[in-house]
C-alpha cells in the first residue's frame, strides 16, 4: 500500500463527509434526521441528493442510485425509500431561500439555487413564462442537490501539462459529461496556479467568473473554498459580463470559468484570449468532435483558443482524467 495515497484518500473522504453535512441544514428537519443516519462511508462518497415530493428520498453514489429508508438504510428498490411529503418540500424551499424567494429570483428563473459551500440545487416545478422566457418557478417540489467537493491536489497531474517551459499557462478546456468533477478540477487548477509551486511554476494572478457560485463558494464576500491567495472572484456575474469585467478591471493572467454553453460564451472567451489572457474553462461533452458540432464549439475550434483538452470520465470513478490532448 502507498502510505501517502492512503493518508490522502482518508483526508479526501473526511472532506467529502464534511461536504455532505454542509448540505443537511438546508433541508427540512425530518429529512435531515434521516440523512444523518446514512452510513458515514456512503456520506463520504455521495454525489447528489434527490428530494421529490411524493416520491422516495434518494442519494446518487458512484455505484448508482440508492433509496434512503426512514432509518437511514439504503436500497436499490424505490419502494424501500422514505416518501417525501409536500410539507417537507415547502420547508426545504424556505431553508434554501432563507425564506426570501425575492433574493434568489434570478437564480430560480434559471432553475437553480446555490447553497453555502457551493452546493448547487437544481429546482423542478412549474415555470411562469413571459415572452418565451421563464421568469420564475412556482409549485416547487423537486430538488436535485449536487454535493460540491473540495479536493486539493486533484489537479496535480494537470497543471504541469497546461504550463509551458517558461511557466506560462496554456488555455485549456475541460470536457466531460455531467457529474464527472469538472468544477472540482478547475477549482484546484485555480488554487495551484494561484499558490504556485517552488521549482515548477510561479504564482499567477487568477480571476474566477463564478456565475453559479460553485467554484469559489463565496459567502458574504469571502470564498469558502481555497482558490489561492492571488485569485479574484466575480461571484454571481453572468458569464459574458463577468469575463468582460475581469479583463478590463482585474488584469488577470489566467481566467477561469465553468460550463461554456452558447456561442456568446465562446465569443467572450475568444475576446479574453485576444487580450492575452489564458483561459481555463469547462464544457459538457464526451468528445471534441461532438463539441465542434455545436455553434459555440465550432467557434472555439475555428479560433484555436484552446491548446489543451482534458477529458474527464468515470472509468475509475467520477473525476477520472481519461486523456490530456495537445492541440496544435
User: Which domains does the chain show, CATH number per domain?
Assistant: 3-146 (no CATH), 159-326 (3.40.50.300)
Phi-psi map region of 317: left, alpha, beta (phi>0 left; psi -120 to 50 alpha): left
Residue 317: predicted pLDDT: 79
Q: How far apart are the first and last CA of the chain?
A: 39
What pLDDT sits at residue 20?
92
CB of 142 within 8 A of CB of 250?
Answer: no
Q: Say if residue 46's pLDDT is above 80.
A: yes
Q: What percent of the chain has pLDDT over 70?
A: 92
Most confidently predicted of 126-130, 150-154, 218-222? 150-154
pLDDT at position 314:
87
Query: How far is residue 114 CA from its own chain's centroid?
Result: 10
Is the pLDDT confidence value at 12 over 60?
A: no
Q: 3-state DSSP call for residue 121?
A: strand
With 0-12 CB in 10 A as exposed, 13-18 as middle and 19+ as buried, what is 255? buried
Indicate if the pLDDT at residue 202 is higher than 60.
yes
Contact status, residue 122 vs residue 112, Cβ threshold 8 Å: yes
| Residue 16: band (very low, low, confident or very high) from pLDDT cuts 50, 70, 90 | low
Note the pLDDT of residue 90.
Answer: 94
User: Quick check: 296 pLDDT over 90?
Assistant: yes
Phi, psi angle pair for 3, to nearest 5°: -60, -45
Q: Using a cut of 0.75, tell me whether the model's pTM lies above it.
A: yes
* pLDDT score for 43: 94
Residue 103, pLDDT score = 63
pLDDT at 245 over 50: yes
pLDDT of residue 8: 39
The three grid cell numbers given for residue 153, joined into one nine-digit string:
491536489
The mean pLDDT of the chain is: 89
pLDDT at 14 over 80: no
CA neighbours within 13 Å on the CB side: how many for 294? Answer: 18
Q: Which has the higher per-residue pLDDT, 185 or 118?
A: 185
In tens, the pLDDT along 64-108 reads 999 999 999 999 999 999 999 999 999 999 999 886 666 677 777
CB 173 within 8 A of CB 285: no
Of residues 316 and 215, the one with the higher pLDDT is 215
Q: Would you say residue 252 has pLDDT above 70?
A: yes
Whether 130 shows a pLDDT value over 80: the answer reads: no
Of 102-106, 309-313, 319-323, which gets the smallest average pLDDT? 102-106
What are 231's three cell numbers?
A: 485569485
- Specify the pLDDT at position 11: 44
3 state DSSP class of 127: strand
23: burial class by Cβ within 10 Å (0-12, 13-18, 19+)?
Answer: buried
Amino acid at each position: 500500500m502507498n502510505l501517502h495515497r492512503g493518508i490522502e484518500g482518508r483526508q479526501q473522504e473526511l472532506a467529502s463527509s464534511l461536504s455532505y453535512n454542509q448540505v443537511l441544514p438546508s433541508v427540512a428537519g425530518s429529512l435531515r434526521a434521516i440523512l444523518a443516519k446514512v452510513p458515514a462511508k456512503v456520506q463520504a462518497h455521495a454525489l447528489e441528493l434527490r428530494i421529490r415530493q411524493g416520491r422516495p428520498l434518494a442519494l446518487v453514489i458512484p455505484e448508482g442510485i440508492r433509496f434512503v429508508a426512514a432509518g437511514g438504510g439504503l436500497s436499490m428498490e424505490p419502494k424501500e425509500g422514505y416518501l417525501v411529503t409536500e410539507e417537507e418540500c415547502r420547508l426545504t424551499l424556505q431553508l434554501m431561500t432563507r425564506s426570501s424567494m425575492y433574493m434568489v429570483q434570478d437564480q430560480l428563473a434559471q432553475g437553480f439555487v446555490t447553497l453555502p459551500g457551493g452546493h448547487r440545487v437544481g429546482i423542478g416545478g412549474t415555470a411562469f413564462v413571459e415572452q418565451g422566457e421563464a421568469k420564475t418557478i412556482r409549485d416547487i417540489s423537486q430538488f436535485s442537490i449536487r454535493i460540491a467537493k473540495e479536493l486539493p491536489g486533484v489537479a496535480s497531474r494537470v497543471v504541469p501539462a497546461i504550463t509551458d517551459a517558461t511557466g506560462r499557462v496554456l488555455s485549456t478546456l475541460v470536457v466531460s459529461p455531467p457529474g464527472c468533477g469538472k468544477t472540482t478540477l478547475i477549482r484546484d487548477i485555480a488554487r495551484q496556479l494561484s499558490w504556485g509551486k517552488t521549482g515548477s511554476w510561479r504564482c499567477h494572478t487568477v480571476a474566477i467568473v463564478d456565475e453559479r457560485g460553485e467554484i469559489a463558494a463565496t459567502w458574504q464576500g469571502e470564498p469558502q473554498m481555497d482558490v489561492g491567495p492571488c485569485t479574484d472572484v466575480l461571484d454571481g456575474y453572468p458569464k459574458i459580463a463577468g469575463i468582460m469585467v475581469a479583463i478590463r478591471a482585474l488584469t488577470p493572467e489566467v481566467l477561469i470559468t465553468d460550463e461554456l454553453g452558447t456561442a456568446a460564451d465562446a465569443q467572450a472567451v475568444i475576446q479574453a484570449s485576444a487580450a492575452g489572457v489564458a483561459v481555463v474553462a469547462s464544457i459538457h461533452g464526451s468528445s471534441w468532435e461532438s463539441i465542434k458540432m455545436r455553434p459555440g464549439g465550432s467557434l472555439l475550434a475555428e479560433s484555436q483558443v484552446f491548446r489543451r483538452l482534458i477529458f474527464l470520465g468515470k472509468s475509475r470513478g467520477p473525476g477520472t482524467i481519461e486523456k490530456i490532448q495537445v492541440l496544435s
